[in-house]
Amino acid sequence: MRPFTRLLTVVALIIALCHVNESTAQYSYQAEVIPLTPMRSPKPMMSELVRTIGVIDVSHDHGTRSLQFTSPTAVSLQQLRSLIGPHGFFAIRVSDGRQSESDVKSLDPMYELFPSKYDTGNEIEDNTRYETAKAQWILAHPLEYDALVKGEHPVTKDSDK
């Protein structure tokens, strides 16, 4: 084989391999999501990701507010929010392992996310603990609560500083 023909063959092979890698690329994400209402089931949210963007593997951990998924396409924070918002969840940040995307950057250091209800097996105590924590949080964070109810991102009144 002549050197020039060999060079063209190698270039064509490299281009073909790059194209194959693009079409089979997968992106692994971890997002921090919060339910906008207590005890919201994550199943409709996860089904939406599978149906809309072809997510291959998806899991949600209520305790850590972690949503992990593998997607055949790149997913932005705004895209994730638009997909999960109608199902009662809000994405605070999303990370692909290399970089993280979040627009909730100026949170008050004392700011805490809306309380979560945890199942310890004692329904009466769980409900009482959750309702108390929720009422205290709403009193301490009225602007953030209004933002959560309206489906906006939870920022504090000092976030524009």
As a whole-number percent, the residues of the chain with pLDDT over 90 amount to: 24
What φ, ψ does residue 144 adopt, rounded to 5°?
-65, -40
* Range 69-94 average pLDDT: 91
Q: Give the dihedral sign, CA 155/90/61/29.
A: negative
Residue 95 banded pLDDT, cuts 50, 70, 90: confident
What number is the average pLDDT over the span 5-34? 70
More confident residue, 62 or 59: 59
Tell me what the mean pLDDT of segment 95-121 comes to. 61
The answer to whether 58 and 67 are in contact (CB under 8 A) is yes
Q: What is the pLDDT of residue 9?
A: 72
d(CA 117, CA 32): 16
* Burial class of residue 150 (count of CB atoms within 10 Å of its CB; 0-12, 13-18, 19+): exposed
Q: What is the CATH number of domain 24-101?
A: 3.30.70.100
Q: Give start-end residues of each CATH 3.30.70.100 domain in the chain.
A: 24-101
What mean pLDDT comes out for the span 48-76? 91
- Mean confidence (pLDDT) of the chain: 77
**Is the pLDDT at 119 greater than 70, yes or no?**
no
